[in-house]
Amino acid sequence: MKGRTAAAVAVLLAVTGCTAAPATDGAGGADPAEMRGMTLPSWYRTDYDSPVAARYLKDIRATGARWVTFTPTWYQDRRTDASMHTTEETAGDASLRRIVRRAHDAGLKVMIKPHVDLADGGDRAEIRPRDRAAWFTHYRGFITHYARIATDTGAEQFAVGTELAGVSGDRAAWKRIIGAVRERYDGPLTYAANYDEYERVRFWRDLDLIGIDAYWPLADTPTADPARLRRAWAPIRERLAGFAGRTGRRILFTEAGYVSQRGTTTAPYSWTVGTTPGDEEQAAGYRALLDSFEGRRWWAGVCWWMWDDWPDSGETPARLAYTPHGKPAERVLRAKWGAAGQGARKVSP
């Protein structure tokens, strides 16, 4: 069993990667190929031109991060609509180009990860267009628009979709989408599947990386005990290792995160677990994830959700929000990422 697993890992490392060569030994600490990333989303047309943008990028880099993800978003009015459109909440193209340039100037690599959301704030996984063929035609125009921007700006990685469980089962349509993107962008591609969606996606072999938004509940009751959370990750990690081996692709956590609220580890996907601050529980979530996955050769890293909201745009107070900035979770990142590769513990593939 161990030999078959090692062989599968060797194959997937030979055909895929994040952006750098994988570790050459059988195991080890932080692999230079692992993404150490942070998401900087936008909620308004001019967010990426904000006067605080340069400081945000500098602060992200100071955590030890080497990547930043940007998320331009289009919207559907109804779940059954056949098209999506820009709004005042969509990052302007010029501002997206400028923020990518600023990120590169700050020493960060970039992933562009376009989103389609529902205008009423509903779950994008509920998008189920009545006319699927028309929806995919419109989606192709949307996603190739950003593929061109990714090429023009030199973005190092691109996501062809995010959490679209209502349509992600259509393999033939997605193969056509991926082909159209590859005609316009030649960097590594992924798709960001929700943690309860990834096993139903049928087009992983057409992409370079498996992307998972890793919001698995890890506890039934609130806990700030990293050891307890590591134990919860163990069976999930085993399943993911097997999935990576079967598909021949490394797994990137395209999103992961915890709000600073008591109970966040019971529902990491929720902005509104409670109103009691939970800085230590957030930090424990960060530590347990990195402890559980760093150095696994089939794991391509993580892009945390998310850095600070833009001034006057946050619906959740910063002290309760996903941001790790100025909290114990930021200290975890600085400790884990700042010491990458220096005396890190050994782990098995």
Mean pLDDT score of the chain, rounded to an integer?
90
Whether pLDDT at 317 is above 60: yes
How much is the pLDDT for 131? 98
How much is the pLDDT for 33? 75
- CA angle at 333 for the pair 254 and 261, rounded to the nearest 5°: 75
pLDDT, one tens digit per residue, over 174-231 is 999 999 999 999 999 999 999 999 999 999 999 999 999 999 999 999 999 999 999 9
pLDDT band at 8 (very low <50, low <70, confident <90, very high): very low
The tokens 């009015």 sit on which residue?
77
Dig out the tokens for 255 from the structure: 């999103």
Answer positive or negative: Cα dihedral of 266, 41, 78, 254.
Answer: negative
Nearby residues of 192 by Cβ (< 8 Å), 6 or more positions away:
113, 159, 161, 162, 163, 211, 212, 213, 254, 255
Tell me which H or E stretch contains 11: helix 2-15
- CA angle at 178 for the pair 207 and 11, rounded to the nearest 5°: 15
Through-space distance between the first and last CA atoms of the chain, rounded to whole angstroms: 12
pLDDT, one tens digit per residue, over 285-314 is 999 999 999 999 999 999 999 999 898 787
pLDDT band at 31 (very low <50, low <70, confident <90, very high): low
Phi-psi region of 310 (alpha: psi -120 to 50; beta: other; left: phi over 0): beta
The tokens 């990518």 sit on which residue?
100
Q: Do residues 41 and 315 touch, judged by C-beta distance below 8 A?
A: no
- CA angle at 252 for the pair 229 and 21, rounded to the nearest 5°: 120
pLDDT, one tens digit per residue, over 57-68 is 999 999 999 999
Q: Does this model's pTM top 0.95? A: no
How much is the pLDDT for 313? 80
Name the 3-class secondary structure at 328: helix
pLDDT-above-70 percentage for the chain: 88
What are the beta bridge partners of residue 262?
none
How much is the pLDDT for 312? 79
Whether pLDDT at 120 is above 90: yes
How much is the pLDDT for 349? 53
How much is the pLDDT for 114? 98
Q: CB neighbours (10 Å) of residue 216?
A: 16
pLDDT band at 5 (very low <50, low <70, confident <90, very high): very low
